[in-house]
């Protein structure tokens, strides 16, 4: 049914005439403009209104531990620097909101005993350490998050322009907020920094240039060494697709050789003690903590965190929507390259593997993989919301 039949001659004709505004250049400009506003708003929030969660205490303490002699000095410095930067409410939340945090605030030895679980984030801590020498360690975390958010926004603009899906930014902008881009930019966590390297890595994976992707993949890994899962997922995807298998095997082996020295030098307690701490029960003191593996506790943690994810977080819902969208793209006969297949399969396997091995429900944990998955899907789809030229000219 035509617009004139639905809305009448006068209003229908006006609506048809407004279609002339939907030219390619206009829609492209609106798409870039709205996406840029989201990025700029995120940068403003990240820099001027950061969120100080408990993790920032550990990162600040670790960045300064090689300059201090005792747990008491490290504890005093970390809590002192965060107190100076945070509001009274934020400082209350990290020191007194639950008994566990009260204990950490009162017991320096207990506080330092948690460092091995954070110390493995080598690149993130080194960035805080070196930037902190110029700006202060707490402010360094804010700068890292802000710069990471800016790089992500710029690279999405570059990718969309390079691969001709600029109009998709109309949807990508709101979608990245749901993924956790804006909130993660305000937090002192390594996840957004990891995502800033994940995007160029996946860009080159899609271009079927794994050697160009390698530097970004290894930097991702150094930011968070659980990125080893992604190397393994890429290898499995390459084997399934039958493209660049030996290269991805070499990359996985290289990451595997780096993983154990990083974990060992950090004195990491191991997978199950860390799993127990994060998913079963907080431990005031991690020194000597080595519980026996318990299948029932593992399964319970999975079930509980699936429920928490569905109730409070977006990543699982978004993953389901993205995979449904990918299935529709395949069904519609879209041309999907082997590189794009590798990217989609590997990202899906990695997100699933991360949850199964360490079922934290927070969106930020999956952001470095959901974000490039979204962009790869839009590269395949290449949506066009503008009116074709001939159709626009035919309008009254």
Does the predicted TM-score (pTM) go above 0.85?
yes
Distances (CA, A) of 219 to 55, 209, 213, 259, 266: 21, 17, 10, 13, 18
Q: Specify whether the CB–CB gap between 185 and 45 falls below 8 A.
A: yes
The confidence score (pLDDT) of residue 1 equals: 47
Residue 386 — very low, low, confident or very high, per pLDDT cuts 50/70/90? Answer: confident
pLDDT confidence band for 5 (50 / 70 / 90): low
Q: What is the pLDDT of residue 18?
A: 61
Give 216's contacts (C-beta < 8 A, 6+ positions apart): 197, 198, 200, 201, 204
Question: What is the chain's Cα-based Rg?
Answer: 24
Residue 280 confidence (pLDDT) above 60: yes
Average pLDDT over residues 180-209: 96
Phi, psi of 51 (to 5 degrees): -105, 125
Distance between CA atoms of 130 and 115, rounded to whole angstroms? 19
Residue 367, pLDDT score: 97
pLDDT digits (tens, 9 = 90+) for 225-256: 999 999 999 999 999 999 999 999 999 999 99
**pLDDT, average across residues 341-369:** 97
Interaxial angle between packed helices 122-135 and 137-162, expressed in degrees from 0 to 180 and rounded to the nearest 10: 120
Q: Are the CB atoms for 80 and 139 separated by under 8 Å?
A: no
Q: What is the mean pLDDT of the chain?
A: 93
The confidence band for 116, taking pLDDT boundaries of 50, 70 and 90, is very high
- Reported as a pLDDT band with limits 50, 70 and 90, residue 46 is very high
Taken in order 288, 57, 257, 372, is the CA torsion positive or negative?
positive
Using the predicted structure, report yes or no on whether residue 147 has a pLDDT greater than 90: yes
Q: Where are the domains of the chain?
A: 22-51+114-389
Q: Determine the pLDDT at residue 390.
A: 43
């Amino acid at each position: 049914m035509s617009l004139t039949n639905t809305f009448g001659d006068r209003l229908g004709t006006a609506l048809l005439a407004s279609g002339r505004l939907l030219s390619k250049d206009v829609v492209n400009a609106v798409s870039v403009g709205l996406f840029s506003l989201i990025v700029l708003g995120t940068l403003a929030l990240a820099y001027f209104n950061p969120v100080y969660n408990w993790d920032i205490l550990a990162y600040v303490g670790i960045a300064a531990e090689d300059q201090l002699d005792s747990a008491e000095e490290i504890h005093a410095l970390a809590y002192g620097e965060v107190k100076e930067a945070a509001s009274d409410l934020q400082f209350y939340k990290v020191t007194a909101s639950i008994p566990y945090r009260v204990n950490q605030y009162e017991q320096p030895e207990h506080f330092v005993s948690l460092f091995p679980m954070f110390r493995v984030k080598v690149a993130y801590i080194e960035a805080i350490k070196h930037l902190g020498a110029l700006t202060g360690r707490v402010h360094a975390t804010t700068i890292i998050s802000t710069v990471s958010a800016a790089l992500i926004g710029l690279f999405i603009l570059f990718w969309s322009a390079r691969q001709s899906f600029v109009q998709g930014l109309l949807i990508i902008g709101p979608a990245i907020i749901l993924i956790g881009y804006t909130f993660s930019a305000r937090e002192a966590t390594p996840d957004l920094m990891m995502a800033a390297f994940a995007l160029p890595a996946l860009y080159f994976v899609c271009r079927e240039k794994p050697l160009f992707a390698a530097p970004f993949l290894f930097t991702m890994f150094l930011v968070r060494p659980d990125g080893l899962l992604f190397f393994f997922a890429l290898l499995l995807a390459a084997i399934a697709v039958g493209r660049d298998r030996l290269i991805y095997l070499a990359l996985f082996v290289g990451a595997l050789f780096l993983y154990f020295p990083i974990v060992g030098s950090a004195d990491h307690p191991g997978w199950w003690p860390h799993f127990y701490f994060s998913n079963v029960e907080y431990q005031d003191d991690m020194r000597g903590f080595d519980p026996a593996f318990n299948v029932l506790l593992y399964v319970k943690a999975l079930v509980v965190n699936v429920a928490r994810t569905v109730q409070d977080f977006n990543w699982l819902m978004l993953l389901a929507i993205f995979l449904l969208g990918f299935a529709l793209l395949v069904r519609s006969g879209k041309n999907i390259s082997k590189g794009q297949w590798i990217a989609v399969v590997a990202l899906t396997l990695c997100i699933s593997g991360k949850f199964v091995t360490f079922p934290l429900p927070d969106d930020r944990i999956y952001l470095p993989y959901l974000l490039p998955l979204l962009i790869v899907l839009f590269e395949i789809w290449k949506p066009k919301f503008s009116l074709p030229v001939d159709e626009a000219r035919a309008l009254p």
